[in-house]
Structure 1
Amino acid sequence: MESNVSRRTVLRAAALATAVPAVSAIATQATAAIPTSAAAVPARWAVQPFQLADVTLQQGVFAAKRALMLAYGRGYDVNRLLQVFRANAGLSTLGAVAPGGWEGLDGEANGNLRGHYTGHFLSMLSQAYGSTGEAVFADKIRTMIGALAEVRTALRKDPTGLAASGPFGSGVDNVRGSSQYIELPPAVLATARDLTVSVWVRPSHASAWARVFDFGDDTNRYLYLAARNASGVPRFAITDGGAGREQAIDGSAALPLNTWSHLAVTIAGTTGTLYVNGVVAGRNTSMTLNPAVLGTLRNHWLGRSLYPDPAFAGAFGETNLWSRALGADEIAKLQHESATGDLASYTFAETTGTFADRSGHAGPAKLRRTWGGPSHPGFLAAYPETQFIALESMTGSDYTKVWAPYYTAHKILRGLLDAHANTGDERALDLASGMGDWMYSRLSKLPKTTLQRMWGLFSSGEFGGIVEAICDLHAVTGAPEHLALARLFDLDRLIDSCAAGQDILTGLHANQHIPILTGLVRLHDETGETRYLDAARNFWGMVVPPRMYSIGGTSTGEFWKAPGLIAGTLTDVTAETCCAYNLLKLGRMLFCHEQDSRYMDYYERALYNQVLGSKQDKADAEKPLVTYFIGLTPGHVRDYTPKAGTTCCEGTGMESATKYQDTVYLKGADGNSLYVNLYSPSTLSWREKGITLTQRTAFPYEQRSTLTVRGKAAFTLRLRVPAWCTGGFEVLLNGQPVRQTAVPGTYFPLSRDWRDGDTVEVRTPFRLRVEKAADAQEIQSLFYGPVALVARDPRTTFLRFGLYRNAGLSGDLLPTLKTVAGKPLHFTLDGVELAPFFEGTEDPTHVYFQRAEPAIVFGALDSGVANPVKPGGTTLLDEIWAAAPFADKGALIRQVQAKTTAWRDAGLLGAEDARKVVTTARQASYAK
């Protein structure tokens, strides 16, 4: 396979002729060349992205957030991420400690998701290098790719011994997580009635029931020595009737970790004795069983249990077996002198995986893996293939046994593809291609019914965005089996219902399903099947906006409720950050097919609010400081370090923070259009056109942006008119207003033969507005332009705010608020501070508040009339201000007269109160 990869490769990274300067204040290291070709762009996309290297972020909120993540990426020791991979392959872990949380053996569900965070990290590093060209990122990528290549090679072979310095000069170390054990020859116990087993061990983990040795047929007939029983002390037992008939000896103290200890068990007649470091630790004088009674046994293992117990983690030193019971003085001598048993004797000095027997009787021992070995040479993971095998027979979800192995495979595959795309490292493509070949070899043999059952399992069957990654792999390799593999992940129930426009999302795990749809878009790109694109397009409409919170997130407790149920689902575990990440990706893909501005309106909403707000504004060397959930209950405090900081959301958060610029600009596939989707300080290098476009703005702290063209070319500049921009979007070309209608929620086209130095000024006036929860009109969020403003207040009940009291003729509610001097985008309302959600603080926040307009007030003038309410919650003031903007005060008065008359005639407002309302409206003064 390896020899064919380079011939199949159609994309190779090239380098810029000159280095690109660092883009953040802390990027002081020398930069390397940045590749100009990073990924295959689907031919079916009418609009295409630029490479990360083509768009440079300038100083602003995005660059500041990214600087924190770049610093984290520069400083983190990638050997910690590689620890679980190296351990799984039985390689030295170089003393590294896994990150913890989900990324390690001791994490949730026994570490069954380990390896996923490594994939995220590799993507983050690749994007960081693609953006900045800093050599430090390329060096870390090379280290990781080289290590993963070594891991795959090791997994392909029988395990080899990892040398340890033992009590008498040698030993073999079984790294925790390697699933390795030593198999002794079949007849090693012979027909011994009396017996001594002497073993030097250096345990590295306090696992209960890990075996020093286990000789037996099954869980019915055996004799074993566990390093620690449930009480933490050594235990010897022998039985011919299972656990209930064990004749046992328990020690009196725990073995120390990372220290050599000598264990010996003797059987003489009816007496069994357990020795620890030459001292009797326990004795049983009523034993009726011995090896001869048990007869010839099938399995003779050091470090492995006949039960589903963990493999022994640590080192084995000199091990001897005698066909007699050594005396106490002889056992004591073994603490200081090497010896040779008459049944078997091993020093484990070899590193080949085969260990010579010095006794000359038993024969060599072999190093084995409890799970055998990979089914295919392309296998690469941080845990045994048994996770994938077990999934194939599961009928119900149990993440403590099998936790999303194909999700983890996706993250690793995606990281490898990103590494290849951004550095051109062919080893990364070889590893990725091998993973594709391995998965195809497994899944192509399974019946379709099995695949449908697997992919329908919650959590265990989750596979993330693997279809998208496999399609990207196919775009590079052209291998037909890779495209065939992508189709094997089709979840027909979801695809068919979405394609038909039938909403079955209620009760589904949100982030298990969103990335499936990004994969379907790519499958459409590769196959042309409209069913896939139809499903993705219809799915989008089922989530945005029906199941979307105001900040752009979705899901509560990771699951979807019924469409339109927003206020009724506000909890501490709403808006999983991964969901926003994947919805952004899906919306971007759909926009590349159909240039509907609603996708970019969502993109701006989620990016400027949930994604930016999910990253804490603080540096940390150990964690990326990104939220998992964003609780939307009143007074919620964001948690930026859940589960030790290695969840899926911390992973996607790292990726988000190193590609903020990826959708600021997009280009038409025909080369005739340039889409400006986001108003963000940045510089675009449009190489094909010989154009550089610089965007200068402090957006969203200012409500304008100036774009300057360098170079000459003809194309249409398409400026997004945000849906929220209802206050008069303006465009000035070289200082002169462009007389052209701007419609919110569309693009404003400027077609021109652009000349060097041309400038375009875009003015996007903000207004303060509310967004109402569909299921409770009084529960609302506050927005100023694209920015969600949240109340910072420790109360845990909904705050009650009124906003009409000083509304302007435009309908802008901003005059009701007071600005905070020296703090842009900060306001106060009724003594409560309002601040942008994107500020990553640990303040208690209120994204939603309760609207309360008890009195009819105009221009801060109180009419003395209570604000009447219709069934359903609509008030008289709601209906009056729904007609805003008003051309002048007279237009407002006419609206007030019309609405008070209608409410009076309907019996909802008294005649005298109606008169007072109109009089007050006339007397009041209004801001524009």
Structure 2
Amino acid sequence: MWASTHNESLKEKMSAVVSALSACQKETGSGYLSAFPTEQFDRLEALIPVWAPYYTIHKILAGLLDQYTYADNAEALRMTTWMVEYFYNRVQNVIKKYSIERHWQTLNEEAGGMNDVLYKLFSITQDPKHLMLAHLFDKPCFLGLLALQADDISGFHSNTHIPIVIGSQMRYEVTGDQLHKTISMFFMDIVNSSHTYATGGTSVGEFWSDPKRLASNLDSNTEESCTTYNMLKVSRHLFRWTKEIAYADYYERSLTNGVLGIQRGTEPGVMIYLLPLAPGSSKERSYHHWGTPFDSFWCCYGTGIESFSKLGDSIYFEEEGKYPGVYIIQYISSRLDWKSGQIVVNQKVDPVVSWDPYLRVTLTFSSKGSGLTTSLNLRIPTWTSSNGAKATLNGQDLPLPSPGNFLSVTKTWSSDDKLTIQLPLTLRTEAIQDDRPEYASIQAILYGPYVLAGHSIGDWDITKSATSLSDWITPIPASYNSQLITFTQEYGNTKFTHLNDSSGSEFSSLNDFIGKSVMLEPFDSPGMLVIQHETDDELVVTDSFIAQGSSVFHLVAGLDGGDRTVSLESETYKGCFVYTAFNLQSSESTKLGCISESTEAGFNNAASFVIEKGLSEYHPISFVAKGANRNFLLAPLLSLRDESYSVYFDFQS
């Protein structure tokens, strides 16, 4: 975060933390630094159950090394090398006392990215001890399988082993060992083709299951957040080495669907551990639920906080050459101060909406030098279409490559230049990674890079039309937000969606409601209506084609005599009104009740509501999908908080 912002307050705080940790390390006198005692490692080396001590050591080492690398804190580097000296001696003692096999056995406990941070340290110090210790954390029973190119990762704990692959990637960068480049490419291939959900995430119950059997894994324990954080690192390295669009596409998909939605809106310190993908799931009802700002700090808090602190680290990639180049792989409004290119690149991305299916990006420039010729390379993602795609430079059309390639423009840029690109956002379905014929119908719906989740408490059946997706998935225009209202009461809160007539006119006061006949459509059930069967029956939600007259209510002045309330009288049963049980201190749900001599005291209050602006609004990327039994309100998974949803649907012919 500091490297991106150079915020002085952050600099002061992180320097203070390094100083405090340094004082603790000096107090021990051995180089050891951790919040728990060395006895934890005694237990680990004796193969007595203990919870992941090296995982924490890696986090401390990585943080200290970043303080040196990004903030030039020499004390942090001294602390790092002293810590590593302690663990080098410790591992050597285990090997001498027991065997090398005993050390390998300790790596069956989660050790984070120890090899990764040690290879990075070696690249700075060139100390052969640091290289040797890094090799000793290259877990052979896992990397060996990948070296043999065996898709046999089933049963391995995902977040124990993805960091080992990241360390293997760093081994390739530091030593040039081609085997470790091949290992990471093969690993990415098998995870992405056999173990990945539509969100880009992986794992169930923190482990990998059998390849191409994901339909059996759709529950509340899918996609540990830490695994997505680490897979982003894997794909980032691979893109840097190869410039292959597939890795950039993966990065975008995983960041969009697997990272941006793990924090509860803008609430700091409220995150989830796992991203549930079962039909009728809810982030609030996931295995650990939403965390709390001060009492939760599981592993996915550490990686989650880091993910949100480095959202800009993979937008631009620089390349040296005859003409310095920049690859723009993420379309995110941002500003790049490109020093070697002697220009500032300003990227502005228009908000994405469902009713205008295009991603529009504008690049403008500020020159900082005497006119250097440079290249800009813009990703044309695989999710777009050539039909409707367009790029212009200063109003002149540019030839666009097909999706899955880069648009390259080389010139001497000036402040007068303006580069625009327009990419169609296509709706599409994507089958779950499961090769059993009986699960071929389970598919996700995507809009460009966005996974669309349907509001649902478990229903996931869709009758697939032979026509195009646009025939049965339709966008919700922004004007529909003006038609949303909420009925509230003092002791409770029942939310309905009020659908105005097609003119979309807005009611400006309570008098605009009185005397109107209305039908009520629940926000999360488009095409469904609230209906009444008989008096004293609960109100139910059913298909609008079935509802007919039993769905019409007459809005009258509130029975409680309030100047801000209304009541809903049945047009089928005159003198009968919608009421809730809150004011009657009953466990009954919303019903239709008729006024009589025996009407319970408090009924008038229970049948009176304040009309307010809708508590919910349609997300700008919202659609209605026609289901087999009901319609679904679709919105990006990243936008949902406590709602129940289905990410996958069962498409029946």
The aligned residue for residue 148 of structure 1 is 21
Within 1, Cα distance between the matches of 2:168 and 2:148?
15
Question: What are the residue-to-residue correspondences of 1:171-570 with 2, within 5 Å?
Answer: 377-394=30-47, 401-447=49-95, 450-456=99-105, 461-570=109-218
Is the CA contact (8 Å cut-off) linking 1:680 and 1:699 kept in structure 2? no
Is the CA contact (8 Å cut-off) linking 2:465 and 2:472 kept in structure 1? no
Deviation for aligned residue 1:812: 5.0
Match of 2:430 among 765, 771, 775: 771
Match of 1:629 among 248, 270, 274: 274
Deviation for aligned residue 1:816: 4.2
Q: Tell me the SS of whatever aligns to 1:467.
A: helix
The aligned residue for residue 275 of structure 1 is none
Deviation for aligned residue 1:133: 2.0
CA gap of 1:456–1:817, structure 2 versus 1, over 3 A, is: farther
**Structure 2 segments unaligned to the other structure (5+ residues):** 284-288, 482-618
Is the CA contact (8 Å cut-off) linking 1:768 and 1:814 kept in structure 2? no
The aligned residue for residue 311 of structure 2 is 660
Deviation for aligned residue 1:814: 6.9
Deviation for aligned residue 1:727: 4.5
Within 2, Cα distance between the matches of 1:626 and 1:849?
26
Deviations 1:373-411 (A, max 9, x none): xxxx211111111212222221xxx6xx41111111000
Deviation for aligned residue 1:145: 1.0
Deviation for aligned residue 1:819: 4.2
The aligned residue for residue 756 of structure 1 is 415
Within 1, Cα distance between the matches of 2:470 and 2:372?
40
Deviation for aligned residue 1:818: 4.4
Is the CA contact (8 Å cut-off) linking 1:680 and 1:695 kept in structure 2? yes
Is the CA contact (8 Å cut-off) linking 2:94 and 2:103 kept in structure 1? no
Is the CA contact (8 Å cut-off) linking 1:727 and 1:767 kept in structure 2? no
Q: Which moved more, 1:491-500 or 1:766-775?
A: 491-500
The aligned residue for residue 392 of structure 2 is 732
Larger Rg: 1
CA gap of 1:725–1:456, structure 2 versus 1, over 3 A, is: farther
Q: Tell me the SS of whatever aligns to 2:639.
A: coil
Deviations 1:309-348 (A, max 9, x none): xxxxxxxxxxxxxxxxxxxxxxxxxxxxxxxxxxxxxxxx
Within 1, Cα distance between the matches of 2:378 and 2:461?
38
Deviations 1:670-708 (A, max 9, x none): 362210101110000111121110001135446110111
Within 2, Cα distance between the matches of 1:709 and 1:130?
23
Within 2, Cα distance between the matches of 1:387 and 1:450?
19
TM-score (norm 1): 0.51
Within 2, Cα distance between the matches of 1:645 and 1:148?
22
The aligned residue for residue 328 of structure 2 is 676
Deviation for aligned residue 1:450: 4.3
CA gap of 1:641–1:454, structure 2 versus 1, over 3 A, is: farther
Amino acid in the other structure paired with 1:841: R
Deviation for aligned residue 1:457: 5.5
Deviation for aligned residue 1:774: 3.0
Deviation for aligned residue 1:662: 0.4
CA gap of 1:772–1:417, structure 2 versus 1, over 3 A, is: same
The aligned residue for residue 650 of structure 1 is 301
The aligned residue for residue 486 of structure 2 is none
Deviation for aligned residue 1:733: 1.3
Deviations 1:711-742 (A, max 9, x none): 232222111111111243322111111124x2
The aligned residue for residue 583 of structure 2 is none
Is the CA contact (8 Å cut-off) linking 2:195 and 2:433 kept in structure 1? no
Within 1, Cα distance between the matches of 2:190 and 2:159?
14
Deviations 1:197-256 (A, max 9, x none): xxxxxxxxxxxxxxxxxxxxxxxxxxxxxxxxxxxxxxxxxxxxxxxxxxxxxxxxxxxx
Within 1, Cα distance between the matches of 2:209 and 2:18?
41
Deviation for aligned residue 1:760: 1.3
The aligned residue for residue 291 of structure 2 is 641
CA gap of 1:476–1:667, structure 2 versus 1, over 3 A, is: same
Is the CA contact (8 Å cut-off) linking 1:444 and 1:488 kept in structure 2? no
Within 1, Cα distance between the matches of 2:248 and 2:34?
36
Q: Is 1:706 aligned to 2:357, yes or no?
A: no
Deviation for aligned residue 1:425: 1.9
TM-score (norm 2): 0.72
CA gap of 1:804–1:760, structure 2 versus 1, over 3 A, is: farther
The aligned residue for residue 327 of structure 1 is none
Q: Is 1:687 aligned to 2:339, yes or no?
A: yes
Deviations 1:250-272 (A, max 9, x none): xxxxxxxxxxxxxxxxxxxxxxx
The aligned residue for residue 624 of structure 2 is 828
**Structure 1 segments unaligned to the other structure (5+ residues):** 1-127, 157-376, 854-928
Is the CA contact (8 Å cut-off) linking 1:570 and 1:633 kept in structure 2? yes
Count of residues in correspondence between the two structures = 491
Q: Tell me the SS of whatever aligns to 1:688.
A: coil
The aligned residue for residue 801 of structure 1 is 462
Match of 2:638 among 829, 834, 838: 838
CA gap of 1:426–1:713, structure 2 versus 1, over 3 A, is: same
Within 1, Cα distance between the matches of 2:447 and 2:381?
13
Within 1, Cα distance between the matches of 2:440 and 2:133?
47
Amino acid in the other structure paired with 1:799: W
Within 1, Cα distance between the matches of 2:385 and 2:99?
52
Deviation for aligned residue 1:439: 1.4
Is the CA contact (8 Å cut-off) linking 2:324 and 2:340 kept in structure 1? no
Q: Tell me the SS of whatever aligns to 1:689.
A: coil
Within 1, Cα distance between the matches of 2:153 and 2:442?
24
CA gap of 1:579–1:627, structure 2 versus 1, over 3 A, is: same
Within 1, Cα distance between the matches of 2:237 and 2:174?
14
Within 1, Cα distance between the matches of 2:375 and 2:12?
40
Within 1, Cα distance between the matches of 2:346 and 2:472?
31
CA gap of 1:530–1:543, structure 2 versus 1, over 3 A, is: same
Question: What are the residue-to-residue correspondences of 1:58-69 with 2, within 5 Å?
Answer: none
Amino acid in the other structure paired with 1:610: G
Is the CA contact (8 Å cut-off) linking 1:675 and 1:718 kept in structure 2? yes
Amino acid in the other structure paired with 1:783: L
Deviation for aligned residue 1:143: 2.0
Within 2, Cα distance between the matches of 1:750 and 1:718?
7
Is the CA contact (8 Å cut-off) linking 1:730 and 1:763 kept in structure 2? yes
Within 2, Cα distance between the matches of 1:596 and 1:814?
34
The aligned residue for residue 295 of structure 1 is none
CA gap of 1:148–1:718, structure 2 versus 1, over 3 A, is: same
Q: Tell me the SS of whatever aligns to 2:347.
A: strand
Is the CA contact (8 Å cut-off) linking 2:453 and 2:634 kept in structure 1? yes
Deviations 1:863-911 (A, max 9, x none): xxxxxxxxxxxxxxxxxxxxxxxxxxxxxxxxxxxxxxxxxxxxxxxxx
Deviations 1:829-854 (A, max 9, x none): 2443211111151111211111133x
The aligned residue for residue 446 of structure 2 is 783
CA gap of 1:514–1:452, structure 2 versus 1, over 3 A, is: farther
Deviation for aligned residue 1:432: 1.3
Is the CA contact (8 Å cut-off) linking 2:88 and 2:133 kept in structure 1? yes
Within 1, Cα distance between the matches of 2:267 and 2:9?
18
CA gap of 1:707–1:512, structure 2 versus 1, over 3 A, is: same
Within 1, Cα distance between the matches of 2:471 and 2:304?
33
Deviation for aligned residue 1:436: 1.5
Q: Tell me the SS of whatever aligns to 1:645.
A: coil
CA gap of 1:835–1:457, structure 2 versus 1, over 3 A, is: farther
Deviation for aligned residue 1:564: 0.9
Q: Tell me the SS of whatever aligns to 2:290.
A: coil
CA gap of 1:539–1:841, structure 2 versus 1, over 3 A, is: same
Q: CA RMSD in A?
A: 2.1
Q: Tell me the SS of whatever aligns to 2:638.
A: coil
